[in-house]
Amino acid sequence: MFRLRTNLTDPVTFSFEGRRLTASRGDTLAAALLASGVFIFRNSPVSSAPRAPFCMIGNCYECFVQVEAMGVVQACLTEVTEGMQITKVSNQIDELGMDIKEVSKE
């Protein structure tokens, strides 16, 4: 998609899904990830189809990622900072292991 950048000015280190990556200070998370060759940001909660940033100005909400201690953010509106740990947003519903039962029959 995009060319990898050489000689980053003022680099910061962060991680995506456990992978260590670097970006320029001031980059948005979306730019930092795309520049590092990350193409799939999340999966659609409806069909699980892969999705990635589309508009880069905060309007399509395709760039949602999970940031440690921040929660889910729009990657195109959030600046990358040193040590940031980013993961994909989970859509996985864990089985609750509890059937709906009539409480009063217990």
**Residue 104 interaction partner, one of ligand FES, another protein, none, beta carbon < 5-8 Å per kind:** another protein
Residues binding ligand FES: number (CB under 6 A): 14
Verify binding: residue 56, ligand FES, rule CB under 6 A.
yes
Q: Which helix (H) or strand (E) holds 33?
A: helix 29-35
Query: Measured from the CB atom, is 56 or 89 closer to ligand FES?
Result: 56
Is residue 41 within 8 Å of 54, Cβ to Cβ?
Answer: no
Window 27-66: residues binding another protein (CB under 8 A)? 27-28, 30-32, 34-35, 39-41, 44-47, 49-62, 64
Cα 49 to chain centroid distance, Å, stands at 15
Verify binding: residue 61, ligand FES, rule CB under 6 A.
yes
d(CA 89, CA 77): 16
Query: Measured from the CB atom, is 37 or 103 closer to ligand FES?
Result: 37
Task: Tell me which residue has tokens 């950048």.
Answer: 5
**Residue 84 interaction partner, one of ligand FES, another protein, none, beta carbon < 5-8 Å per kind:** none
Tokens for 21, please give them. 């990556």
Query: Measured from the CB atom, is 8 or 55 closer to ligand FES?
Result: 55
d(CA 11, CA 44): 31
